[in-house]
Amino acid sequence: MSTVPPQPGSVRFFYGPMDCGKSTLALQIHDNQLRQGRRGVLLTRFDRSGPARISSRIGLSSPALEVTGDLDLAQVVREAGTVDYAIVDEAQFLTAAQVDQLALVADEQSVDVFAFGIATDFRSRLFPGSARFFEIADGVAPVQVEVLCWCGRAARFNARVVEGRVTREGPTIMIADTGAEPVPDPATGSRPHSERDGSGTRYRVLCRRHFRMGLLGPIEPG
């Protein structure tokens, strides 16, 4: 009597700009999987909270394994024993090879992979990890929480701001911590989305027009 081979797992990539709720969705999926009695591994890279955790801005968090540039993710999942799913936050920082390793465990070990990340860097160029997910994932979807530019339009570009000006130069990866809550724009009521690294560099989410023009709005928090 022949046996039915196990079905392969799926690889899904959820993407969006800062503040759109990627980490919150990752933790919600993790909770839903646990409730169904499934066992998983949580992975992250360069999480803004410091220690290896998946953390959201609304206060949710869960311990995770910190991914380094040379870590074999297929081996990590194999060594974890019986695993039904893997959740990866800050997935844009993975190497293309690591994305392929996740696809391998999906195909060969029936592990469902849920990856969450930013699609493009501060120059509006695809991160290598995100690009590879777009190429090989079974499903790719934007996170549905809409982030607004200071002008009120939908924002999807992560601008790097150095000394009050949008910059197009510098290293691709520069991690910033969450700073103080900025003051709402009196014209729109929206809060400028900002991350700070303590050195005069921060990030702002802008619409395409204002990203292209390098305009940060009528209120620029000091």
Whether 90 is catalytic is: yes
What's the sign of the alpha-carbon dihedral 210, 204, 181, 24?
positive
Query: By three-state DSSP, how is residue 204 classified?
Result: strand
Q: Helix 128-136 vs helix 96-109: angle between axes, to the nearest 10 degrees? A: 30
Catalytic residue among 90, 135, 146, 195: 90
| H-type alpha helices, 110-195 | 128-136
Identify the helix (H) or strand (E) that includes residue 24.
helix 22-35
Maximum Cα interatomic distance, the chain, rounded to a whole number of Å: 72
What are the catalytic residues?
90
